[in-house]
Structure formats: C-alpha cells, structure tokens
Structure 1
C-alpha cells in the first residue's frame, strides 16, 4: 500500500505527518503545475470545474510516481465535490490505472460510515496491528502540524502587508513550513512554529497602515495558491492584509460536528446572509455572502471572492455579492478561475482593487 492524496495548500504536511507517524507508506503528488492542469483538462470535458481537473491531474501524477491507494475527500449536494470521487475514479480506471480508493466523508455520520465500509475492507488487510496502535497519536501530530501551519500562514499574511521586504516574509514562511514538515513530534512542531513566528516578527516594517480584505469563496480555490494564482501573496506585496474566510481545519471541524461552537457559528453566518439569501443554497455560497457582510461590520476595506468557473453555488454568491457590495459600499474583487494564463491581468486587477480601497479610505471616492 502506498497512499496518495490531492494537493491543497499546506494540507500535504498534515496528511504526510499522519502517514509517517502511523507507519503507512505514501506518495506525495508533485506540486501543481501547468502539466497537472493540462492532464486534468485533457481527460475531462470543459464543463467540469477547475478543482476536479486539477485533482485528477494530481492523481495521475501520483499514480505515475508509484501510488496505489487514493484517499479523497467527499461532500454533499449541491457542490459537485460530492461527485468527484465517482467521476475521478471512473476516469482513472478508463485510463487503465489500477488503484484502491478511500473516500473521507465531508460529514461524519452513519451513512458515511456505511459508504466507506466496502472501500476500507480491502485496505484493512494490509495494515498491521502496529499501524492501528500508532494511528491515534498520528492524528494528534497531524492536527498539531495543521494548527501550526495555519498559525504561521496567518502571521505571514499580517506581516507581508507591512514588511519593508515582503519577499523576505515569503522566504521565512517557506523555510518555516519545511522545518515544520520535518518535525517528528508535537513538541518539535511547536518549537518550529515558534522560531518561524519570532523570525517573522523581527523583520523590519514600513510603519504604514495596511488595507485589510477578507478572501471568501469555494474552499479549494481559497486554500490552494496554485489555483488562485497566489492572490494572497500578490495582494500582500501591495500592502494588503488578507484574511481567509476558512482554513482546512475549519472544514474538519464542520464535518466532524464535535465542536458545538460550529453549529452556533453556522447559524450566525446564515442569519447574516439572510437579508440577501433567504434559503441555504449549499456549499460555501451563504458563507461567502455572510463573511462579506461580517467583513464590512468589522471594518475591512474590501472582499476578494475566488471561485472556479461554472461553480453553481459560488456563481450565485457572486451575483449576490455585487448587490451586497453596492449596498454596503464595500469593494468586491471577483476572480473566476479556470485557465492559468491570467497572471498579468490579475496583477492589473489587484492594483486597481487596491487603488479603489485606498481612495475610499482617504475619502476620495463616494
């Protein structure tokens, strides 16, 4: 057994930590590149959304590198993520690949347990008792590394907006993530994160007051810089502090339903969106609208909305966000992502967006 999983931001550090600590062989998919996208596009049709294309490309490259077991996350309607496991599985088999498959449910309930029972029964014969014994500790280590990744990424987003040399922030963050990835214990993980945070704190600052934006949208495009054209870093270099609406841990907490505060937070966000969305559209649609309203109330300067072309829930959110932005006087930058040839255009859009927010802050725009 050699497991693999899709690329999603720094999620590979979390997944790799669990596999290593549990003694399960794994194959990391190569970083998402133009070839990854082209593989996914070539073997699907143009109507499927970008995350499916990229994840399919990730799996093709991982299987070529020797993986034989795919671990994929699931979801429910109306987001097509709930169909990804079926569509990708059939496509890979049509291409002649041989592999085993395990779906991690988007919501942990009895239905999800029964769905995965048949998939897991073939895999469990390849696991030794030591793998099962080490798995709880592996989960704790993975969770610790995930928390530390997110802590460092948040700190880098704050520092990048005020740093005299934003590129140095990028370098320190990359070095810190590598050190965290190499940590073998929770204590080493905490120490690696602490050193990175201290290194970021020591970097010289300009003294300027940064603009603040909240990045909302479909979860994959929010979290994966290889898909969203690294918009968080681009805006950071323009003096903008970017706050993501969600991190990978956010969706684990929502799916596990173990944290009672998640239910209260969901109710609060749905209520914030209710003046513009009377029904729960599903996926992140209502949350995208609610996070924009919350950003306005919290004094943010703007909202960045990222989503894949043809994503139904977020296309609805984009329409609503236009009305929200106009009514609240909140600049909204909508980025519909599909192909990867929009780099120069994105720089122009980002610079114009920053100018609009700055003019509004200075009172030079109504």
Structure 2
C-alpha cells in the first residue's frame, strides 16, 4: 500500500527551482540531493520562470488600487459553476502529464479531487510519483545515444535487437521510452504529414531546392541529448547554413523552451537571418519562440515530421561534436560539459578546417560577409 503523499514547502520548491535555473547540476543530481523526482524539478523550474515577471510588476506601497483591484472581490460572488467553467477554459490539456501540472493543490475554491474531475484525470494519476532514472537506464541511454549517432535511421525494433545482440535483454517498450526521454526520433518520413498539430499557425519547409549563396540567408537550430556520468543535459545551437558557423548555444538540465529562447536572443544580437529553420519540436513551435522570430520579420521554416535530414547541417554538427569531443571526454558534471562544449565550439568555429568550405574555417567564411 502506498504511503502518504509527500508535501513540499514553497521555500523548498523555490530553492530547487533556483538550482535548476542555475543549471550547475543535472536533474538527477538535484533529485538525489533533495529527495524529489526529476519531473517535479522541471515543473517547479517552469513555474518559477513563468512567475518571475509578476515579481517586477507588483504595485508599490502607497499606490492607488487599480480598477481590477476594486472589482476583484466580485469574482468570489459569481457562483461555483462559473468558477469551474472559467478554470476549465484556462486549463485545457490533452496529455496526462500536462493535466498533472495544471492541478493546483492550494486553490482556495476547487479541491484537488474536483480539479481532477474537471480535467478528466484520475486522482491516482495525479498522486503517482514516477521512479527516478536508474543507473541501468542511464547506461542504456548512453548506448542508444551512441548508436543513434551512427544509425539515426534505426527504429525502436532495430534498436531493441541491437541492444539484445550486445547482451542487454530489454523490451521494445523500454527502448521507446528511453528514446523519448532523450528527445531522439528516428529519421524517416512519417505518415499523415498533412495532419495539423496543436499549434495556432503552421509553417512550411522553405528550403527545398533553395540555393544558399550567402551568410545570414538561412539559420537553423536543433536540440541534442548530452550524457554525463550522473545524468544528462540538453544542448541547443543556432547555426548559419552557408558558413556552418555556430552563432550561439545553450545548455539546460530540462527540456523546456527558455534555454532555446536564450540561444535565439544571443544569435539575434549578432545579426538577423532571412529564413530561420527548425524541426517541429514544442520548443520551436511555442508561441514565445515564433513571436520572437516574427517580431524581426524573419521567415519561419519547419522541417517535415520525422525528416531530420531537412536540417542536415545541424545533424552533422551534432555528429562532429559527439565523436570529436563528448564520447572522448566522458564528462562528469554540468560544469565540465559546459566548459568542454565552449572549448569545442571555439575550435569548431575558428580552427577546424571544413572540406566543404574549401578547407577554411566557419569563422573565416562568416566574417567575409
């Protein structure tokens, strides 16, 4: 029989969220230190980042109350039914994990049970605490990451059989779960590509048969998984297609949108592209990311579903990084991998000769603009 559900104070949640935002430790390391699950860390980090703007918009002492402040008490009198309808409109969700994140245990008007009922979520699903990533899973993820770099066209069946041939008796269901955790997707054209996704606006792939002739004509971005001795992190980079120059990059211990926006901001501080290409991951299709590009009048291009080769130059960058640095160094912690990636991209941009660039460096080509 399951024990009582753990309760965490607001102070502890804030402390853990700050640890996650700093990014000096992996989610696994923070989870082990504080006795929480990595999923909770990602959730609290997002809540902290979403709530930061309110800290700086708080009304100062002595200021008059706004019209909203004066009418706020009326909200308490409009009836329980309207409260529930308004709450449900603001908290529509499809996945179980998303529904769990929408539950507010401190809501003064709706109990946890009623919130679960409105969302169509079983209370047992809300209270469920998944098991932390085990050492065995981390080892399997390391093997899958290396094999994926060699054969990104392997699906879950081939990956499962490959692991079985290496002496690891794993099932396909487990392999599929681990690949999703790492954000790895097999390269092949998926069916029903014309089906609309859960985004307000969709953008076509703009680079088919387009001749790239100059720097800042096309930028692209992608996220890759980086394994460490005790956990893993995610790396995003922004690349200029013509020169192969890495304009910016960022690490994160959680797979969220904020670190992608930080990398985009640093790249835009240097120049502005005509076209910006990415896959259809939730980070790049988010409202914040799309609006940031549109504000600079940048044309947006999205890869086809499952077509990683639409973004081939970033895929080649990941392959070079992993074979020439990550797999050789065996980084132990976030600080080490951050310093190592910074050193590698300095080498990649300014010293590494590219055959496709007539044996010049990306920096030489990019500076010729």
Specify the TM-score bucket, using the shorter chain as the normaliser.
under 0.3
- Larger Rg computed on CA atoms: 2
TM-score normalised by structure 1 residue count: 0.28
